Structure 1
Amino acid sequence: MKTADPELMRAINRYHVIDTIRRDGPIARVEIAARTDLSPASVSAITAQLMEEGLIDIHHVAPGGDAVRGRPRVLLGLNPAAYTVVGVKLTAFRIGIAVTDARGGSLSSLVLPIRVARQSPEVVADLVEDGVRRCVADAGLAMDRISGVGVGLPGVIDGIDGVSHWSPVLGGTPAPFAAAVSRRLGVPVLLENDANLVAVAEHWFGLGRDQTAFAVVTVENTIGLGLIVDGKLYRGAHGIGPALGHTRLVPGGLPCRCGLRGCLDAYASDWGLLRMAEEAGLLPQGDDAPDRIEGLVQRALAGEVAAAALFRGAGQAIGIAVSNLVNLLNPPRVILTGEGLRAGPLLREPLLEAVAENMLPTLKDGTEILFHSWGDEMWARGAATIMLRRIYEAPWNATT
């Protein structure tokens, strides 16, 4: 029988200790041992090494009921100064940037209103460089203090190789965007689908913090899906992960940007809603500018029947997709977020009705459907957590 590689096992144990301290700290060694199923001796050895590296420190010393011979127990926490990273969230019309510490705490942030989708990938990389350098300076730091940059954007994104295969931001030609930004900034850069970055961020400091498995559905210019399975981000066979927005809702239906017809995106994303509004004569032909979708939302909320019908239909379409997701994977929690939920109850009510109508009855009691509002800074912090996770990861998990 083949035994496990000792170096690999040490790396796995180290990762579990770091992640436990990050999630539950300040925490005593005895509690780390209990939560990781490691021996007290192993935990002591790993934490001693982490303290020597400056990754963790003594948060404070407090008397505890389990103190041995009257000695107070030592509580350990993640050292926020151990690393500094930058998160970048790209949309078609703006760039959000946040500088965070090793715990994911925000040090500075900014939003640049730029029509990014009209630019080439090289120009977008230049814009990201300028924004990152400015945000780092706003935090009172120099670039040599930055350990890495995480970039999130919608589309078909290979998070392992850092390539955008298709995106409403960078276009339909494969673009090695992570390498382009890394060359400009001189630091490691990770490129990630924005639904994946939200899933990781929800796991770190959001509604998925207490879960080892859950799904995140993002509703914006595209419909995205991020999956956390056994505490890890699921990427699929090619590093891209699931593409919920391009599941077929209506065979032979409305054309989608991906080249297929009848995709969920064509019926429920901001892009799809604008195209349907144009087709129905509610809007003139135009781009995906935020003021256009906002105006359509306000008309719907004001009671305009045709506009309201579009958002009710979008909610129903997303609800059907979520119910299929639950029936297929049975996650204990599904978190919905994104600007595409701005129509409020007009979209949420038909969404939840469609979920209830199409979910297997035996799964209803075991699945939570939650909504979480994310601002621009939170999206950018989510991008930063992708880089932090890579830093803390053990080699066995280097592709997540």
Structure 2
Amino acid sequence: MPPRPNRLLPLATPAGIEVLTKILTQGPIPRVEIARRTGLSQAAVTKAVAPLIEAGFVTDQPVAAGPDEPVESQLGIGRPVSPLTVVADSVSVIGLKVTPTDLIGVTTDFTAGIRAVRHCRLPDTSAETVTAKLVELARELMAPETLVGPLVGIGVAVSGDVDAVHGVVRDSPFMGWRDVPLAASLTASLDVPVVVTNDVRALTVAEHWFGVGVNADSFAVVTIGSGVGCGLYINGEVVSGAHGVSGELGHLPLAPGELVCTCGRRGCVETVASSDAILARARKTTGKPKLDLSGAIELAHAGNEDAREAFDRAGDVIGSALAAMVNLVGPELVVIAGEGVADYDLYEQRMREAFAAHAFGAAGDCRLMLRSHTFDDWARGAAATVIRSYVRGEPPLQR
């Protein structure tokens, strides 16, 4: 039998899950407001939240009226409102992010607040080495001094095609992996439920539950760095795809066909817009084969037209890819994130021009927003996927 969370949530009905989700993502929030937003009766909300309060997952502390605010003006006329809030320290979660050079790990509380951070260099990218290092890093984060409550699960975020249901990395070009049963290997070593997911999808879950997507009807997260990824939140859910693949913006065939992608295909967006592609182009156009990315950025900022061309070309392709995605699914907001956004100013104008040129009709009203992310945030995204599965009772955190 697979391991279960060290602390089980007393949630027996869909109403209970819905109520806890509202408290977790939108709290502090009064019972009457939960009833309004969910369509449940106040009695149903009270019934759902009572075992959560008794078990210490949720608390209700009265909110005192402000100095100029009469008590009667608050919800619950004549008495102070008791907003419901998740007890952050009621559980701990670990999130791990895998890159070709490093592992990044965080411990978070129930609200995905980061409490501890650890980094680890990788000597190589073989599945055996990375799995062993992930176990070491997880055990370090499982130390009592880094946990705020019982550990309920570990999330691992990996780039590429990931079968989250079975915890298998089917294809990760950056890592050179195919069909790696990562969740099973880690679970066997750590005896803790492990969720393995695509890294961009994990970041999207974090934005949905704890970031800019909390009150959005639809949004997309586009990440720019060593690769170009996209996570989608549409119709009340982060899109996973029927076969576990969705939002692969970096592999739309919008670049010149002679360019070969790390995935083995030709003409992918990543062949022009990734940081590696920008650097390769800048080296070629400037005639400086030893140029590094920071040097290319410096040259472009200084007005070097040869270096600038690499960023302009990336902006054109990213803008066209964004327009294609927005035309297809129509999100109200696109969050542009990732390590590559540090250079956003170098291609922002060309990107916005290309987006405006190709966005159809009112799709052009979609808001494009920059949101800086560190690798710690990617690891936090992995933790957020665990929190979501824990609340919903999804495998491998089913109750």
Residues 1:69 and 1:190: Cα distance change in structure 2 (over 3 Å): closer
Residue of structure 2 in register with 1:13 after alignment: 15
Q: Distance in 1 between matches of 2:369 and 2:33?
A: 30
**Aligned pair partner of 1:188 in 182, 185, 193:** 193
Q: Is the 8 A contact 2:252 2:268 kept in 1?
A: yes
Q: List alignment gaps of at least 5 residues for structure 2.
A: 1-10, 66-70
Residue of structure 2 in register with 1:170 after alignment: 175
Q: List alignment gaps of at least 5 residues for structure 1.
A: 1-8, 286-290
Q: Is the 8 A contact 1:270 1:293 kept in 2?
A: yes
- Tell me if 1:75 matches 2:79: no
Letter in 1 for 2:193: P
Provide TM-score, normalisation by structure 2. 0.88
Residue of structure 2 in register with 1:134 after alignment: 140
Shift in Å at residue 214 of structure 1? 0.6
Residue of structure 2 in register with 1:54 after alignment: 56
Q: Is the 8 A contact 1:14 1:394 kept in 2?
A: no
Shift in Å at residue 396 of structure 1? 11
Q: Distance in 1 between matches of 2:40 and 2:196?
A: 34
Q: Give the secondary-structure state (helix, strand or coil) at the position aligned to 1:190.
A: strand
Q: Distance in 2 between matches of 1:258 and 1:392?
A: 35
Q: Give the secondary-structure state (helix, strand or coil) at the position aligned to 2:131.
A: helix
**Aligned pair partner of 1:33 in 26, 32, 35:** 35
Q: Distance in 1 between matches of 2:288 and 2:98?
A: 26
Shift in Å at residue 332 of structure 1? 0.5
Q: Is the 8 A contact 1:203 1:209 kept in 2?
A: yes
Q: Distance in 1 between matches of 2:213 and 2:142?
A: 29
Percent same amino acid among aligned pairs? Answer: 34
**Aligned pair partner of 2:226 in 221, 228, 232:** 221
**Aligned pair partner of 2:266 in 261, 269, 280:** 261
For these two proteins, the number of residue pairs brought into alignment is 382
Residues 1:197 and 1:139: Cα distance change in structure 2 (over 3 Å): farther
- Tell me if 1:378 matches 2:383: no
**Aligned pair partner of 1:99 in 107, 123, 127:** 107
Q: 1:341-393 deviations in whole A, cap 9, x for unaligned?
A: 2223211111111111111133223x111110012222221211111111011
Q: Distance in 1 between matches of 2:375 and 2:396?
A: 29
Cα RMSD of the aligned pairs, angstroms, is 2.7
Q: Is the 8 A contact 1:216 1:337 kept in 2?
A: yes
Shift in Å at residue 283 of structure 1? 5.3
Q: Distance in 1 between matches of 2:75 and 2:211?
A: 33
Residue of structure 1 in register with 2:338 after alignment: 338
Q: Is the 8 A contact 1:155 1:222 kept in 2?
A: no
Q: Distance in 1 between matches of 2:310 and 2:287?
A: 11
Q: Distance in 1 between matches of 2:324 and 2:75?
A: 51
Q: Distance in 2 between matches of 1:75 and 1:209?
A: 18
Q: Give the secondary-structure state (helix, strand or coil) at the position aligned to 1:13.
A: helix
